[in-house]
Structure 1
Amino acid sequence: MGASGWDYAVPYQEDLVGAFEGLRRKVFEEREYYWGPGADWRPEEERLPWPETMDELWEHELVQHEGTHSILDIFRIIGPEEKPDYCTMKQVTDEEALRVLGTRKPTRAHVPRFEEFDHWRWYGRCAVLHDDQGEPQEIYFWGYSGD
């Protein structure tokens, strides 16, 4: 199938981890992810129902290998000093934003340039987006996952 790019924006809140976890819950509850065992291309008698919990989702071997092609494939946000690892997400630092975008306060207008930040498969990034007055407005999450 190949990896898929995904992105989401949520209203700004100071608790980055809380925003991340809330977004993951929303994506799961609204079924906004790839569920291979229940995919339309399977014969109807072979399709499995959508999982009731995230634990149930990740118990399935197909999901473990192919992922969900969504933010559900990311399990935690790492700190600025940590090295990116499989299934992690890292926030864009002020220094990184300044180097890549020329500002410490990215706006929605900068989003098309986010591809210039370091990124790999099975790894996510996030950044706080600001309004024209420099006030935080949204948290933007993006990445690539799935096989």
Structure 2
Amino acid sequence: MGASGWDYLVPFAGSVATTLERLRADVFAAGDYYTPRGEDHPKPATEEELWSDEWVQESMTHSILDVFEVGSGDPTGFEALGKTFEVTEAECERIFGTPRATPADLARGFDALEPLLTMRGVGRHVVGYADGRPDQVLFFGYSGD
């Protein structure tokens, strides 16, 4: 099948970790992810059930569900898998012309930020600021087999 790019623009929920947790719950509840067994197979009742499937472990979900936590440091290498890493101020400056993204910047989405991706199964995120306060978070990445 190949890897799939994904991005999600969501309201900031107090912290990036909490925002990620809520987004993952929403995506799972909506069933908005790939399962290698196809649409005819019922979706699992829990994430634990989803990830217990060896096919899912191999192929991933092609969604934010492939990212489990907020990482820190370098978004490259095996230890980065399953984590999302913040877009740095320098990266923001290079892409958007400002060290802090605005909601208008985030609306540009995946295409503007795709060059920051390092490998499958590693996400990135950027916080958008309105009136000097965190307002939205854009999570983006690509994952899957």
- Give the TM-score band, short-chain normalised: 0.7 to 0.9
| Mapping for residues 1-147 of structure 1, pairs under 5 Å | 1-37=1-37, 39-40=38-39, 47-79=40-72, 81-84=73-76, 85-110=80-105, 111=108, 112-131=111-130, 133-147=131-145
Aligned residues: 138
Say whether the 8 Å CA contact 2:63–2:143 is kept in structure 1.
yes
Q: More deviation in 61-70 or 84-93?
A: 84-93
Of all paired residues, the percent bearing the same amino acid is 39
Gaps in structure 1 of 5+ consecutive residues: 41-46
Aligned-residue CA RMSD in angstroms?
1.8
With structure 2 as the length reference, what TM-score do the two structures score? 0.84
With structure 1 as the length reference, what TM-score do the two structures score? 0.83
Flag the structure with larger Rg.
Answer: 1
Report the 3-state secondary structure (helix = DSSP H, G, I; strand = E; otherwise coil) of the residue aligned with 1:90.
strand
Q: Report runs of 4+ in structure 1 exceeding 6 Å deviation.
A: none
| Residues in 2 aligned to 1:117 and 1:18: alpha-carbon distance in whole angstroms | 23
How far the C-alpha of 1:87 sits from its partner, in A, is 1.6
Say whether the 8 Å CA contact 1:88–1:124 is kept in structure 2.
yes
| Residues in 1 aligned to 2:127 and 2:103: alpha-carbon distance in whole angstroms | 10
Gaps in structure 2 of 5+ consecutive residues: none
